[in-house]
């Protein structure tokens, strides 16, 4: 079934209104970024015949083709007329990027009402204004006006982001890239004058490329509708949300940022999101961390965690972070079965601890770690494992990375890796991410992700 | 005044007992790491005449020099005799690295008592057993048995670490290096059979190279003495502590790791540490983050924070993290003075927010950011500033890094930078650290550090 928003997510033809031949202009950057996409591209600018080797048209009305998606890259006061032309052209979706609308006071609010009137009752839908637009890596759709050498884009993958902040989008995309997480699409919501977060959620719900939906929101267009749709989506697709404007200061800041007024009480929002099965997070790093966990593992079926480390100290810190309610994830340390402990004794150094946390000591070898993970994956009393992977012990080699990957991808008890590899840590985490291994560079981020996975598992169980 | 522990921190001569000629042995790695230090070095091993070009002695007793510090790098069951020889030689401090003592059961406990008896009443002090020893970058003292290419060492600086876990030490050193934080010394406490954390704290209290003391501890040798000494030190030197074994699972894990039994109640420990003026942290990343904040800024004089960002979304997230008590640092957003807001209007784009958070929008330039910081540093109602530094906006250049550095080091209102620079972020944070600028790669870590600095400021005020 073809849907209206396909014009936004899967356009066959894209027009860029206000395309500039001047490389220092944002609209030139956007044209450059769009020029490698898998769709027909039409720059629009009455002053130019050709830009970047592409024929340039005076108006969208002059383009001898249907236009699915148009990007209007002009200042706020110049956006209305081109938008009206797009409506006449029956463009599917128009993105208005400029700021200077509702968020900037009365004059801007009047301008925004004019945009609404222009599309009202037409076949044309409006994304924005005040948005960076859309990124769909799989088809090279990239309306972001940031040069790629300033902010490299992630690869195609299964995580979608809806975001009311361009900067949060950029940070998300950069972190996703660094973590080896692929993106299905990233949409800047802007002022949500026409297309809003709920409609986009509805689209992503049945988008087969999207397995996890991440959201940054400062205010709801319609809170009740949002909760309803999340409740409907979340059993099949995890939804993780960074909802800011939690405090009075945050609400005031959101109001001057996106012109949005969030009257909703924080306790109410929190309860509603939890009941709908959304995972709530609190900063830009946790948003990517959690989306990654949900994309790689989805859930864990209980809260009994086993920690395996060659560094005793990490085992102790992990145990605290797992069990602590106030300063931790409120999970529990698994009690290992007698048979598990006996098997561990057979493969570990004499004076190591075969209780949980399992302490391999600095005498650890790749083979020892492999055997120990195998034994623990056999214990039905363990719902997930934290593997503290340290590359410093003398008898450990890079083959331990292969061991980790094989054990993590075995389809048996889920494993989250916390990586301690000095200056190589970030690279190891990234490659693991690309290979479908859930890994983080600190103990807390590994434990925190297990917390999110356990809450999702428990929520799904309750629904049964 | 010369003190006993100078032999540990400032040895003029070091013996390595059990030095091996075999490059795959830990004791060979330790010898290599020690060989570039600023002290006389004597390998001891009856089987060799020379190792790494150094003359090798059959026993410490054969060394024709006074020995300040001896490192015994032999298995647990072979450590006692060399220790006795060190006592006869009147070595100042002996480090026994091996594990397999109290932490490993009854047999080990017996061995540990023998070590104690050997040094009891002598002029020789014992560090360990079960420790990595000591790192003092300024004199190249490095007993760590990890090759430097597996774990690069930080530079000399003002932060000392006392740690009951070798892995936490290594992680701390690697993170410090990555954050541009210099280290005065790092001591592995091990089983604290003789020299314990309290004696080391006493030494560091008057060590002129040390300005901040970081501690990882699983149990106190004497909790009351610890609190007393921290209370005495902390007005002059900030103390930050990661005390693990907070939960029942953590306590059990600590017991099998370092053989320590922590009976103390968590609430009691927490209260005592807070009253003593120590800053408590909860994971290995926060330990370095907080030590860095204390080393660079020491404290802030109040809790009124102003946020400046070119990304509106970051401003909103920061405001929430600053004010939220449950999911934040429980600080407050400063109310900017009328005069400040007037001045800001003069230097910012028309529709930007001149309230707090100050939103420079994507039209930000280096000069604009500079002027805005200057105006806010003049506002007496602001105790500290979070500068969200984004390198993606089109009119920002690398000169913004210079602006940040100059403003941060102006000696006026303290600034913490949260850096958003894509793949360059880690490098920017590191260089800032080396230049005495407090910077972090996420908003939360910047806000959290301000929380620690404000608590310290408030603690110091209460003492007045």
Alpha-carbon distance B409 to B158, whole Å? Answer: 18
Contacts of A391 in chain B (CB under 8 A): 150
Can you give the pTM of this predicted structure?
0.95
- List, for residues B54-78, the tens digit of each pLDDT value: 999 999 999 999 999 999 999 999 9
Asked if A145 and A166 count as a contact pair (C-beta separation under 8 A), the reply is no
- List, for residues B73-102, the tens digit of each pLDDT value: 999 999 999 999 999 999 999 999 998 898
Residues near A235 by beta carbon (within 8 Å), at least 6 away in sequence: A277, A460, A463
Q: What is the mean pLDDT of residues A251-273?
A: 79
Domains and CATH numbers, chain A: 1-129 (3.40.50.720), 151-296 (3.40.50.261), 300-463 (3.40.50.261)
Percent of chain B having pLDDT more than 70? 98
Q: How many CB atoms lie within 10 A of CB B61?
A: 13
The more confidently predicted of residues A462 and A377 is A377
Alpha-carbon distance B132 to B55, whole Å? Answer: 24
Does A259 have pLDDT greater than 80? no
Asked if B359 and B353 count as a contact pair (C-beta separation under 8 A), the reply is yes
- Mean pLDDT score of chain A, rounded to an integer? 94
Confidence of residue B309 (pLDDT cuts 50, 70, 90): very high
| DSSP run (H or E) holding B71 | strand B69-72
Whether ipTM tops 0.90, in short, is yes
What's the first-to-final CA gap in chain B, in angstroms?
Answer: 30
Q: Is B127 helix (H, G, I), strand (E, B) or coil?
A: strand
Alpha-carbon distance A387 to A357, whole Å? Answer: 10
Q: What is the DSSP code (8-state) at residue B336? A: P
- Cβ contact A316–B359 (<8 Å): no
Asked if B44 and B18 count as a contact pair (C-beta separation under 8 A), the reply is yes
Contacts of A29 in chain B (CB under 8 A): 394
Alpha carbon of A347 to those of A412, B98, B415: distances in Å?
20, 21, 52
Does A1 have pLDDT greater than 60? no
Asked if A95 and A127 count as a contact pair (C-beta separation under 8 A), the reply is yes
Asked if B167 and B99 count as a contact pair (C-beta separation under 8 A), the reply is no
Q: Is B111 helix (H, G, I), strand (E, B) or coil?
A: helix
Q: Which two tokens stand for residue B338?
A: 């009328």
- Mean pLDDT score of chain B, rounded to an integer? 94
Radius of gyration of chain B (CA): 25
Does A373 have pLDDT greater than 70? yes
Name the minimum distance, in Å, from the CA of A223 to any CA of chain B: 19
Alpha-carbon distance B265 to A241, whole Å? Answer: 36
In terms of C-beta density within 10 A (0-12 exposed, 13-18 middle, 19 or more buried), how is residue B69 classed? buried
- List, for residues A127-185, the tens digit of each pLDDT value: 999 999 999 999 999 999 888 888 889 999 999 999 999 999 999 999 999 999 999 99
Q: Which two tokens stand for residue B125?
A: 């002090």
- Cβ contact B443–A150 (<8 Å): no
Q: How many CB atoms lie within 10 A of CB B107?
A: 13
- Cβ contact A316–B442 (<8 Å): no
Does B379 have pLDDT greater than 70? yes
B236, HSE (Cβ side, Cα atoms, 13 Å) = 11
Name the minimum distance, in Å, from the CA of A464 to any CA of chain B: 31
- Cβ contact A171–B322 (<8 Å): no
Radius of gyration of chain A (CA): 25
| Of B167, B321, B359, Cβ closest to residue A313 | B167
Q: Which two tokens stand for residue B201?
A: 């704290």
| Of A257, A309, A323, Cβ closest to residue B312 | A257
The chain B residue lying nearest A357, using CA atoms, is B253
Q: What pLDDT, on the 0 to 100 scale, is given for residue B351?
A: 65
Alpha-carbon distance B401 to A195, whole Å? Answer: 38
Name the minimum distance, in Å, from the CA of A165 to any CA of chain B: 5
Sign of CA dihedral B450, B453, B459, B460: negative
> Which ranges of A329-385 does DSSP label H, i.e. alpha helix?
338-347, 366-377
Alpha-carbon distance B34 to B44, whole Å? Answer: 13
Q: What pLDDT, on the 0 to 100 scale, is given for residue B424?
A: 93
Sign of CA dihedral B20, B23, B26, B30: positive
Alpha-carbon distance A32 to A377, whole Å? Answer: 50
Asked if B63 and B89 count as a contact pair (C-beta separation under 8 A), the reply is yes
- Cβ contact A313–B163 (<8 Å): yes
Name the minimum distance, in Å, from the CA of A209 to any CA of chain B: 26
Q: How many CB atoms lie within 10 A of CB B206?
A: 12
- Cβ contact A313–B166 (<8 Å): yes
Q: What pLDDT, on the 0 to 100 scale, is given for residue A181?
A: 97
Q: What pLDDT, on the 0 to 100 scale, is given for residue A452?
A: 98
Alpha-carbon distance B138 to A10, whole Å? Answer: 60
Q: Is B138 helix (H, G, I), strand (E, B) or coil?
A: helix
| Residue in the block written with tokens 């930007």 | B352
């Amino acid at each position: 079934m073809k849907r209206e928003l396909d014009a936004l997510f899967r356009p066959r033809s894209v027009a860029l209104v206000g395309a500039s031949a001047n490389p220092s202009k944002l609209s030139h950057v956007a044209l450059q970024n769009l020029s490698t996409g898998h769709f027909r591209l039409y720059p629009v600018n009455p002053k130019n015949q050709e830009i970047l080797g592409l024929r340039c048209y005076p108006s969208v009305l002059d383009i001898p083709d249907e236009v699915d998606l148009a990007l209007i890259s002009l200042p706020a006061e110049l956006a209305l007329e081109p938008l009206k032309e797009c409506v006449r052209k029956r463009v599917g979706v128009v993105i208005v990027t400029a700021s200077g609308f509702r968020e900037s006071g009365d004059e801007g609010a009047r301008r925004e009402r004019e945009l609404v009137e222009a599309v009202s009752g037409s076949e044309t839908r409006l994304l924005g204004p005040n948005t960076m637009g859309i990124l769909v890596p799989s088809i090279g759709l990239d309306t972001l006006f940031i040069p790629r050498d300033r902010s490299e884009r992630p690869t195609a993958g299964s995580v979608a982001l809806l975001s009311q902040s361009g900067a949060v989008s950029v940070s998300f995309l950069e972190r996703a890239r660094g973590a080896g997480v692929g993106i299905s699409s990233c949409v800047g919501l802007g002022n949500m004058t026409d297309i809003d977060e709920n409609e986009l959620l509805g689209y992503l719900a049945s988008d087969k490329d999207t397995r996890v939906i991440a959201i940054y929101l400062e205010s709801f267009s319609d809170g009740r509708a949002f909760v309803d749709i999340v409740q409907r989506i979340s059993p099949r697709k995890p939804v993780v949300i960074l909802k800011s404007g939690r405090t009075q200061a945050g609400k005031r800041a959101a109001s001057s940022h996106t012109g949005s007024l969030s009257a909703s009480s924080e306790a109410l929002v929190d309860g509603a999101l939890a009941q709908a099965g959304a995972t709530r997070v609190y900063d830009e790093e946790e948003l990517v961390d959690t989306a990654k966990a949900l994309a790689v593992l989805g859930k864990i079926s209980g809260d009994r965690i086993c920690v395996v480390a060659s560094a005793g100290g990490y085992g102790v810190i992990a145990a605290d972070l797992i069990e602590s309610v106030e300063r931790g994830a409120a999970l529990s340390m698994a009690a290992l079965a007698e048979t598990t402990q006996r098997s561990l004794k057979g493969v570990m150094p004499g004076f190591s601890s075969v209780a949980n946390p399992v302490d391999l000591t600095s005498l650890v070898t790749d083979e020892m770690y492999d055997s120990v993970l195998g034994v623990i994956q056999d214990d039905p009393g363990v719902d997930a494992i934290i593997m503290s992977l340290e590359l410093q012990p003398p008898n450990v080699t890079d083959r331990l990375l292969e061991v980790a990957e094989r054990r993590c991808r075995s389809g048996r008890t889920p494993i989250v890796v916390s990586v301690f590899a000095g200056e190589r840590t970030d690279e190891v985490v990234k490659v693991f991410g690309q290979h479908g291994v859930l890994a983080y560079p600190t103990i807390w981020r590994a434990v925190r992700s297990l917390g999110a996975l356990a809450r999702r598992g428990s929520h799904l169980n309750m629904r049964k």
